[in-house]
Structure 1
């Protein structure tokens, strides 16, 4: 399990290069790939002995193939597999490649190493542009529309078992790489092979350069069918094989998905499901997208730094990086990587910074403590206190972002001839479970009962195999049972027209304290936001503008007259008692047993950090709906499950609202 420190044993690999430029690990005194021909070795051991040429070509349209690997190392195996997949597989198939690495190679070293393989320059440049910082856990990287790389920075012995338990019968091919058993014996033990066997799908395969008797015996004990082959080059033998498992009854294939909502949750869900071959319909009570809390003109995107590596800091650190990568690639016009300054005014805040620094919880690219003078120079305005700079953070025009994501999805699915519609002015009144809504379906579906004021809406088949509720603070109205605590919290932002000759016009970073202020964009900046648990209306309140102006003065020492106020906006956020999103199956009680619906999902509770948390939370729900590898660790998945509050309440014999 992860300790209070993010991961005290996680370090970059110490590498030396020989005269040929071949990297060697100083810790394990072993080379990363063959001096004779690294590509030929990897191709022979892992590509040929997993029969990937033939298997990639045989993949069905819209299907996926999953490869898992011990030891990412230089990424050569990944580059080989990804390059072959793009050559052989259908254009709408997808490769998921999960690799576990305890000692990642530094970016600068990886750049040097990849110069050995110019034939992979396109994929290499995509990987290097997205190569993550040294953050423990699983980091999902969308390398290509058909290629997803999940880099798991951790000790494989600590994490593979829980990953395999979340992904049983999932992996189609295993690459057992890493340094030789004689150099790294702690990796090659029975726990490793038992977890691999659990994760392997029926008729899956594996391959490894190793052929020691101990490795072979442990593979056999784990239930793997093991064969020997001639090793590459001077190596006498290698091992490969597969596994046969009892077949599972085929589940009826889902054909349709309904998403209920109009904000960032619904938009990111649609984006994550954009390649699904199911028909997808979005239903929104509002007349347009981003009508609620997702509709502010500017919103900050940044990680949550805490003095311990809690589920919250774990999730929000990965969520920030995931959101940043998505916004940069999918909607670059909306992403402004300005950096965010978190001002440190109080003694507890300064002590937190000291604790984070002493424990080395976050990699340098994520945070940089600043003196008052340094922070003022970075922000380009005088600041009253020291601060923490989050250099990879920034802001987005939230309403524009939501609309552009939905437009991207609509355009993509139209080009792919995949059904997709967004229905505004359609309020869902109820969701009813049915055994079969049509003769084409033989499993439970959901029927949507709605009220529409849209002249363009034609109620045809409102039965869906999968339903995802993403309606913000109103999501609880559609849940079959009251087992999920969502607390509505009202907030109001204020827009200021800042004169060109005022120092605030020079602000080039988001500032955060008790409130926040964004850089001026098109003559306007946002300040706020109020946080009122006692109100659930979205009515504009002039007193809130005054409160935001006071907060601007108290937190940042900037005075702005009332005459600068040109606009404001009130909305209601959906919050949870533990300040984490709700992402997963909806819980239910059946005959006194706490269970989950198999095809009713919830994405809500995004709170004040929805622009940061929504993309990764949506990717988690979409992966489960589509039965694909999860984009998060087991720890984060458990922390976000909607059933968690009912489970705690039952154990403690308390209300779901008590946390």
Structure 2
């Protein structure tokens, strides 16, 4: 399969013939054999004057070309830890066309014991080779790493931020010319603050001239070790990238995984929102008995596919340390529209990312099952909930928002209001364009005395073994009228029996039942972004995070990171095109296009 047809970037081919010095297939080394960490500190940390910048505090953004082993990131994080004030935050944004495998990364970083637990923390959360961005959060939220897996120009074209510093650490221009093109330098300038500094090993004339034409004043300075010279530069041009804004008071309407993910993302930034949720945490569609945790799969490389796969990858890394997550793997069997041919195409496109062909279906090694209540409790922490119905929301005279209950009492006043619920919980008074609908679904836990089930199985419905010998089975898809619990149980029995009669015969009495109405949107994708009116105009201070259907636990954590990044003026963890594919404005814009109109 051609690389353009794959959703995965190929792993780097690493030459380990020289002990302790990994070398790329092209011949260049990932770091100096003499003292790679000292060289990184000299060329990048000192070259970009980062000790001074870190000590000044605030939000610091570093861009990098060539993530490699992650050594530069770890060195920057170590210095940040040593000199930055407690209120400071570091965003490190890098790209890599040929990512290392987790084993190669761990092996390479073992050469630097001075990095301590930071190297292990990075290796433990090493990003998958999926195309697109991968965010990882460290140090209780003070440090955010985002690595884009793609070609250099494709990755830079999907970024939006204003960097304080750049590490230009691609392999030598003679070995990797695309990393040093005029278009790349133009992107670096677009993504830089005035006064941003850069450091690089190379002093090639074409690189110096290209950076100068892009707006950087560059100079040669003494090199490190055997290298006679290196480059430092300062951006003297104007920046078109948005500068960060300070977050204000935030209120959230909703008590499910979308709201909890927002609370978690805001908490990483030291912000405690007011949460309004009738019934408290998990009273709605996020409060199931248990659920499968699987990625949304399509046999296509499209913006929304990359975005939802990045979201799944982030959620899995987040849940690794959370009670209630079980990384069991899941078998995906063919059914209906997901025939064996389509699943085979998906397996080919996802090779190397924890998804492989198994018989006529798929083995999702990256998947598992979850206990929703335990995950909600862990992510919510001790943030309290205003247990009330948000009956009305209105814009306040100060430009913020006021949320009222049914008696007109004020539940919250905020600068930003985020709607993180289904349509049934939306307050009145909001002139938003978002065609939400409710999709009822029910699951049940059955006693079980059938053939052994080693892994959860999904085929449109699902069956998962639980501790103690029972099984979870579901889910109904009720589009016409709501089924009674008894009808839902029979519907589920029939689905399991049609899939495997022996397993169906093994289903005993219903031990527990759960049902709720999930919020979905017409294109079955979530909405994450600023709310808009029907004419396409944005509503100041109003944001939307909803429409997850059955995949809230897979998609909400990263999309909450994206939402909070919008609110706080920070770099998004999504590609530009991925964010646009999930923007709530897409429905208003589509309607306007059908009418031959443009947005206001």
The TM-score normalised by the length of structure 2 is: 0.92
Distance 2:336 2:563 in 1: 38
Distance 1:479 1:64 in 2: 36
Q: Which of 540, 553, 557 is equivalent to 1:611?
A: 553
In the alignment, which residue of structure 1 is the partner of 2:384? 421
Q: Which of 396, 400, 403 is equivalent to 1:448?
A: 403
In the alignment, which residue of structure 2 is the partner of 1:375? none
1:172 to 2:164 alignment: yes
Q: Deviations over 1:387-438 (max 9, x none)?
A: 31111211111133223322x2x2xxxxxxxxx53111x11112111231xx
In the alignment, which residue of structure 1 is the partner of 2:436? 486
In the alignment, which residue of structure 2 is the partner of 1:511? 457
Q: Is the 8 A contact 1:96 1:147 kept in 2?
A: yes
Q: Is the 8 A contact 1:491 1:531 kept in 2?
A: yes
1:525 to 2:471 alignment: yes
In the alignment, which residue of structure 2 is the partner of 1:270? 263
In the alignment, which residue of structure 2 is the partner of 1:149? 145
Q: Which of 494, 504, 507 is equivalent to 1:550?
A: 494
In the alignment, which residue of structure 2 is the partner of 1:435? 397
1:192 to 2:184 alignment: yes
Q: Is the 8 A contact 2:208 2:218 kept in 1?
A: yes
Q: Is the 8 A contact 1:588 1:596 kept in 2?
A: yes
Cα distance change on mapping 1:252 and 1:577 into 2, 3 Å: closer
Distance 2:411 2:247 in 1: 15
Q: Which of 350, 358, 361 is equivalent to 2:349?
A: 361
1:159 to 2:155 alignment: yes
In the alignment, which residue of structure 1 is the partner of 2:124? 129
Q: Which of 89, 107, 111 is equivalent to 1:112?
A: 107
Per the TM alignment, residue 596 of structure 1 is displaced from its structure 2 partner at its CA by 1.8
In the alignment, which residue of structure 1 is the partner of 2:568? 626
Q: Is the 8 A contact 1:540 1:569 kept in 2?
A: no
RMSD of the TM alignment (CA)? 2.6
Q: Is the 8 A contact 2:149 2:155 kept in 1?
A: no
Distance 2:48 2:155 in 1: 24
Distance 2:356 2:507 in 1: 35
Q: Is the 8 A contact 2:252 2:275 kept in 1?
A: yes
In the alignment, which residue of structure 2 is the partner of 1:15? 14
Q: Deviations over 1:92-117 (max 9, x none)?
A: 42211111111112223222222221
- SS of corresponding position for 1:559: helix
Q: Is the 8 A contact 2:243 2:569 kept in 1?
A: no
Q: Is the 8 A contact 1:515 1:555 kept in 2?
A: no
Distance 1:161 1:479 in 2: 38
Per the TM alignment, residue 258 of structure 1 is displaced from its structure 2 partner at its CA by 0.2
Per the TM alignment, residue 245 of structure 1 is displaced from its structure 2 partner at its CA by 5.7
Q: Which of 528, 543, 556 is equivalent to 1:601?
A: 543
Q: Is the 8 A contact 1:476 1:486 kept in 2?
A: no
Number of matched residues?
593
| Alignment map for 1:250-649 (pairs within 5 Å) | 253-285=246-278, 287-329=279-321, 331=322, 333-345=323-335, 349-357=339-347, 360-371=348-359, 386-406=360-380, 408=381, 410=382, 420-424=383-387, 426-436=388-398, 444-451=399-406, 462-474=412-424, 477-478=427-428, 480-498=430-448, 502-503=449-450, 506-522=452-468, 524-535=470-481, 540-557=484-501, 558-560=503-505, 564-588=509-533, 594-649=536-591
Q: Deviations over 1:157-183 (max 9, x none)?
A: 1220231xx22xx21111011111222
- SS of corresponding position for 2:180: coil
Q: Is the 8 A contact 2:444 2:512 kept in 1?
A: yes
In the alignment, which residue of structure 2 is the partner of 1:374? none
- SS of corresponding position for 2:226: coil
Cα distance change on mapping 1:545 and 1:464 into 2, 3 Å: same
Structure 2, unmatched stretches of 5+, are: none
Q: Is the 8 A contact 1:473 1:605 kept in 2?
A: no
Structure 1, unmatched stretches of 5+, are: 372-385, 411-419, 437-443, 454-458
Q: Is the 8 A contact 1:263 1:293 kept in 2?
A: yes
Per the TM alignment, residue 361 of structure 1 is displaced from its structure 2 partner at its CA by 1.0
Distance 1:432 1:568 in 2: 38
1:243 to 2:193 alignment: no
Q: Deviations over 1:450-498 (max 9, x none)?
A: 2389xxxxx6773200110011233655572241111211112222133
Q: Is the 8 A contact 1:69 1:176 kept in 2?
A: yes
Cα distance change on mapping 1:143 and 1:15 into 2, 3 Å: same
Distance 2:583 2:435 in 1: 12
1:76 to 2:71 alignment: yes
Q: Deviations over 1:62-110 (max 9, x none)?
A: x321111000112211111111111111234221111111111222322
Mean CA deviation greater in 223-232 or 149-158: 223-232
